Amino acid sequence: MMQIQDQLTVQQEYVAQLLHELTVEYKNLKSEQQQIAHQYPQSNNEEFKILEEIELWINNICGYASQI
């Protein structure tokens, strides 16, 4: 029983670490996206599809991680 609890603790700590890293990267990504949008104001929105997908993915992971 103690071994399982230890594993859960390690996993929770790992998820918390990933959440922190994703939060930092998300802020950097958001900043970079704003810089690109400012440099190319008339660019096609298609260029940001991958950034939007990454943003949704990060938000989902952060939501899951915060529940743990």
Per-position pLDDT tens, the chain of length 68: 678 888 888 988 888 888 888 888 878 877 777 777 677 665 555 556 666 777 788 788 877 777 76
Instruction: Specify the pTM.
Output: 0.53
**Do 9 and 68 meet the contact criterion of CB atoms below 8 Å apart?**
no
